[in-house]
Amino acid sequence: MAEDSILEIFNRHVKRNGVFKNRDALSPHYIPSNLPYREEQVKELSETVAPILSGRKPENVFIYGKTGTGKTVVTRYVLKRLGEFAKEREIPVNTVYINCRIHNTRSSVFIKIGRELLPDDNFLGLSTAYIYERILGKVREADIRLMVVLDEIDKLKGISETVYALNRANDELEKGSISIIGISNVLTLKDSLDPRTKSTLCQREMIFPPYNAEGLRKILEDRAKEGFREGAVSDGAIALAAAYAARQSGDARYALQLLLRAGDIAEEEGASAVTEEHVEKAKERVEEDIILEMIEALPEQEQILLLAMAKLVLAKKGQKTLGSGEVVITSGEAYEAYSKLARELGKDPVSDRWFREYISELAMYGILNVVQAGKGFRGNTRIIKLLFSPVKIADVLQRVLVA
DNA sequence: CCTCCACAGGAAGCGCAGGAGT
DNA sequence: ACTCCTGCGCTTCCTGTGGAGG
C-alpha cells in the first residue's frame, strides 16, 4: 500500500465534498418526517393507540408483513408522535421499543422495560417476578400508560408467557395500563400461537403489503432529498434502485441500502453525483452485505467452520507465492482445520459426519461451493470453495466469535 | 488387477427440550 | 404438577465409490 493512496483516502474525507448531506437519512433506523404510501397504516395505528390519551387502555395490536414493508418505521413514527403529544400536555405516556432478536427471553424483555421505566435501578441478577413487581409498582404509582413494542416477536422464546404476563398486569392495576404492539414478518406465527395468546395479542391486526415500484421510488426520492446534497443523485439512479427492490418483493430496506451503497461508491470514485452505474455496482455490495449479515446469524458451529475455511484459504494463498491462483481445499483438510479451531475456541467439534451435513447446508445457502474433485484425488473426495471474500468473512466472524 | 485410502452419505440410535395429554 | 411423546441435533457404525499405488 503506497503512502499516496492513504493520503488520497484521507483527503477525500477532509474535503467532504461528497455526495452525502446526511448519510444517516438512508439508514434503516432513520425515522423520516413522512411515510409515503403508508398513510393508511399510520392513520389506523394512530386511531388504535389514541385512546391512551384519555386514559383508556388501547387494544393490543399485531402487525405483520414482509421485510421492508415499513412495519417498524410506521410504529416508531406513530409512537414518537404520540410521545411528543403526550409530553406537551403532561400526560404520563411511556413507550418502550424492544427488538426481540436481541432481547429474546421473557426476563430480558422485563429487564429492558424496567431499565426504561426506572433508569436508576439495577435489575441484573434479580428474579423475573421481582422485576415484574417493580414495573407494576412504578406504573401504578405514576399512573403510567405504557406501550410495549415487541419487534421481531417471532424470535422471542416464550411468547405466550411474556404476552400473558404483560396483559395480566392490567387486571392488577387500578391505575395505569400496559398495551402491547407485536411485530413480525413470519406470516404463519399467528397460527402457531395458542388460542389464549392469540386472542390477547391480536385484539387488532394490521397487515402491511409490499411496496410497488412507484412507492419505492417515492420513498427513495424523499430520503434522497434529505440524505444527498442537491443534485447529487440522478433520477435514473433512483428509478433503477426502486426497480431492483420491487423485484426483491418490494423491500424498502433493500432499496435504501442500494442507494446508500451507490452513494458510498460514488464518493469512493470521487464522482459528483450518483448514477445508474453506481447503483449497478452497489447491487453486488448489498448482496454481499446481506450474506455477511446472514453469516452473523448462523449457528456458532457453522461460523467456526466458515472462519476455519477463510483462514485456510488465506494461509494457502500466502503460501502459494507462485501464481496459478486456484486454492484447493478438500473436505478432509477443512475438517481438520475446523476441529482445530473449535478446540482453540474452547468448543467441542462435531463429528466428521455432521461436519459434512454443515457443508451441504452452507452450500445450499450459496456461501460455499462443493464439487467432485476427480483426478488427482482419491475416491469421492470433494473440493470446497468459499464463494465470498475470505478476508471479509474472517473479519466478521473474528469479531462475532471472540465475543 | 488387487488392495488401500479418503472420503460420501444412509441407517440406527441416543440425549435432550418442548408440547400434548392427563 | 406429572408423565409420555415427538422432533431435533448429533454420534456411531456402516457400506459404497473410485482413484492411488503397488
Strongest mean pLDDT among A119-133, A189-203, A325-339: A325-339
Which grid coordinates are listed for A202?
391480536
Question: How many angstroms is C1' of B15 away from CA of A242?
Answer: 51
Residues comprising chain A, all counted: 403
More confident residue, A157 or A256: A256
Report the pLDDT value the prediction gives residue A14, as an integer from 0 to 100: 62
Residue intervals of chain A classified under CATH 3.40.50.300 are 39-208
Nucleotide nearest residue A350, measured CA to C1': C10
Task: Tell me which residue has cell 391486526.
Answer: A205
Nearest to A114 by CA among A142, A134, A99, A129: A134
Closest nt by CA–C1' to A379: C18
pLDDT band at A53 (very low <50, low <70, confident <90, very high): very high
pLDDT, one tens digit per residue, over A215-264 is 999 999 999 999 999 889 999 999 999 999 999 889 999 999 999 999 99
Distance from residue A192 (CA) to nucleotide C7 (C1'), in Å?
16
Nearest to A82 by CA among A58, A53, A56, A61: A53
Give the pLDDT confidence score for residue A120 in this predicted structure: 79
Q: Which residues touch strand C (CB under 7 A)?
A: A 299, 301, 348-351, 353-354, 357, 374-380
By CB atoms closer than 10 A (0-12, 13-18, 19+), residue A338 is buried
Q: What share of chain A is helix, strand, coil (3-state, %, to 5)?
A: 60, 10, 30
Residue A93: is its pLDDT beyond 80?
Answer: yes
Q: How far apart are CA A396 and CA A98, in angstroms?
A: 25
Task: Quickly give A306 CA vs C11 C1' distance in Å.
Answer: 22
- pLDDT category at A2 given cuts 50, 70, 90 is low
CA–CA distance, A212 with A70 (Å, rounded to integer): 13
- List C-alpha distances in Å: A46 to A78, A205, A214, A342: 6, 13, 25, 51
Q: How far is the CA of A360 from the C1' of B4 (A)?
A: 27
pLDDT at A126 over 90: no
Q: Which CATH number fits domain A3-21+212-289: 1.20.1050.140, 1.50.40.10, 1.10.260.40, 1.10.8.60?
A: 1.10.8.60
**SS3 call for A60:** coil
pLDDT at A275 over 80: yes
Instruction: Summarize the confidence of residues A102-111 as an average pLDDT.
Output: 81
Band of residue A1 on the pLDDT scale cut at 50, 70, 90: low
- 3-state secondary structure at position A75: helix
Which nt has its C1' nearest the CA of A374? C19
Taking the CA of residue A194 and the C1' sugar atom of nucleotide C3, their distance in angstroms comes to: 22
A221 within 8 A of A215, measured Cβ to Cβ: no
Question: Is the pLDDT at A13 greater than 80, yes or no?
Answer: no
Backbone phi and psi for residue A82, each to the nearest 5 degrees, phi listed first: -60, -45
The CATH class, in words, for A39-208 is alpha beta
Q: In angstroms, rounded to a whole number, what is the distance separating the alpha carbons of residues A21 and A227?
A: 5
- A333's grid cell: 483438510
pLDDT value at A79 more than 90: yes
More confidently predicted of A69 and A105: A69
Is residue A189 very low, low, confident or very high in pLDDT (cuts 50, 70, 90)? confident
The Cα–Cα gap between A363 and A358 comes to 8
> Residues contacting strand B at CB < 7 A?
A 157, 194, 330-333, 352-353, 356, 359-360, 378-382
What does the alpha-carbon distance between residue A385 and residue A392 come to, in Å, rounded to a whole number?
15
Where along chain A do the CATH 1.10.8.60 domains lie? 3-21+212-289
Contacts for A92 with CB less than 8 Å, ≥ 6 apart: A86, A142, A143, A144, A145, A176
What CATH code is assigned to A300-402? Answer: 1.10.10.10
Which positions in strand C are less than 7 Å from the protein's CB atoms?
10-13, 16-20
Other C-beta atoms lying within 10 Å of the C-beta of residue A340: 12
Smallest CA–C1' distance to B4, residue: A378
- Side-chain half-sphere of A203: how many Cα atoms within 13 Å? 15
Beta sheet of A93-99, edge-to-edge order: A93-99, A145-151, A177-184, A61-65, A204-208
Mean of all residue pLDDT scores within chain A: 88
pTM score, two decimals? 0.80
Class of residue A21 by CB neighbours under 10 A (exposed 0-12, middle 13-18, buried 19+): middle
What Å value separates CA A336 and C1' C13?
21
Q: Which residue has the higher pLDDT, A198 or A236?
A: A236
Q: Express each pLDDT in A301-351 by its tens digit.
A: 999 999 999 999 998 877 655 545 567 788 899 999 999 999 999 889 999
pLDDT at residue A323, rounded to an integer: 47
Q: Which three cell numbers stand for residue A189?
A: 406465527
Q: Name the nucleotide with the smallest C1'–CA separation from A355.
A: C10
Q: For residues A363 and A371, is the Cβ–Cβ distance under 8 A?
A: no
Mean pLDDT over A173-201 rounds to 83
Q: Gap from A381 CA to B17 C1', in Å?
A: 36
Q: How confident is the model at residue A361 (pLDDT cuts 50, 70, 90)?
A: very high
CA of A309 to C1' of C16 (A): 28
C-alpha atoms less than 13 angstroms from C-alpha of A272 in its C-beta half-sphere = 2
